[in-house]
Amino acid sequence: MASSTIPRAAGLVVSRMPPMPTISDILRLYRLRALKHLGQNFLLNPRLIKKIVKSAGPIENCSVLEIGPGPGSLTRGILEAGVRDLTVIERDSRFMPVMKELQEACGIPMTIKQGDILREDLQSIFPEDTVRPWNSDELPPVHIIANLPFNISTPLAIRWLNDISTHSGMFRYGRVKMTLMFQHEVAQRMIAHPGNEQRSRLSVMCQNYCSVNYIFPIKGTSFLPKPEVDAGVVQLIPLKEPTIKQPFKMVEKVVRNIYNQRRHTLPHGVGTLFPKSHKHLSAEMLEMSGVEPTRKPFMLEVEEFGMLCAAYEKIVTENPIMAHYQFR
């Protein structure tokens, strides 16, 4: 059954999907249930779906990537917004028939990929005419919208931040906007400011490479099955320039080691960057950085982590073997 379109201002169109079974009916018809080991929780509330899609900003005539569409509730909301094209990546083969039904009904170019997003090459995920210069004020007309499986959300975020640092993967198209659902606690860590007990490695890494905004919370009762925690919608837009200029792997190593000793003052975390035989280097690094050693990691600004990274870079340049040292 073909879809119809509704005219919109400025020549934009919104797709009207043909009548289809509800998501609850889909789950029942295909005997689908969420799998805990895949971190699946299905969002069924149409009002929340519309709110998430609206929070992404104008997506009419844009290319969109959705990760983990599951039974397609968010997918429907994206398609109804009148996007130019949609690509979905789903690991679970049980949802392929559901996605194919939507593909046939929507009247919009829709690509279905079965695979693990942590292993997918996203270099060619969008049309070539969507590429925009990194330093342009104009963002590329592409969006990532996803209800991320809770069990992969943090490693996926770190991987994408790495790609942002090198303008690679899907970020070769430019500063791609992302509107993503995370576990509430993870979302809070992403936006946590210095002095907040929630501040973590993820806070520093996200805020170094992106503008991060918490859009709104979603109660766990909105999902099927109900998770033990609530969720939060977060929007990330890559910055033109990160605050910390050192290579991503070096930045991540310094921030990770320091936060591994999050309850202690800085000498404890900095000390794990060097072997005990070179303990003097941690004192040198702190002195060189100019950051007060009595402070704890959650107190530090991104700029102060930048000072620590600059000092670490200078030390490993003078002592190259130290760059390979890994604590434990």
pLDDT reading at 271 higher than 80 = yes
Domain membership of residue 218 as a residue range: 4-238
As a whole number, mean pLDDT of residues 209-235 equals: 88
User: pLDDT grade, residue 288 (50/70/90)?
Assistant: very high
Supply the DSSP string of 89-151, one letter for each residue: EES-GGGHHHHHHHHHHH-S-EEEEES-TTT---TTSS-GGG---TT-SSPPSEEEEEE--TT
In this predicted structure, what is the pLDDT of residue 30?
55
SS3 state of residue 212: strand
What sign does the dihedral 174-177-182-185 (CA atoms) show? positive
Measured N-to-C along each axis, helices 96-106 and 73-80 cross at an angle, to the nearest 10 degrees, of 20
In this predicted structure, what is the pLDDT of residue 221?
83
Which CATH number covers residue 68?
3.40.50.150
Are residues 266 and 211 part of one domain? no
pLDDT tens-digit profile of 236-266?
999 999 999 999 999 999 999 999 999 999 9
* Known binding-site positions: 41, 43, 68, 90, 116, 147
Are residues 314 and 181 part of one domain? no
pLDDT reading at 5 higher than 50 = no
pTM across the whole model: 0.89
First to last CA, the chain: 59
pLDDT reading at 28 higher than 70 = no
Burial 138-148 (b: 16+ CB within 10 A, else e): ebbbbbbbbbb
Q: How many residues does the chain have?
A: 328
Are residues 154 and 19 part of one domain? yes
User: pLDDT grade, residue 44 (50/70/90)?
Assistant: confident
SS3 state of residue 238: strand
How many structural domains is the chain composed of?
Answer: 2
In this predicted structure, what is the pLDDT of residue 35?
56
Average pLDDT, rounded, for the chain: 90
* Known binding-site positions for S-adenosyl-L-methionine: 41, 43, 68, 90, 116, 147
Per the listing, tokens 């004192």 go with: 283
Per the listing, tokens 């609530």 go with: 230
DSSP annotation of 75: H
Question: Structure tokens of 320?
Answer: 């190259």
Are residues 72 and 219 part of one domain? yes
As a whole number, mean pLDDT of residues 128-153 equals: 94
Are residues 278 and 183 part of one domain? no
As a whole number, mean pLDDT of residues 107-134 equals: 96
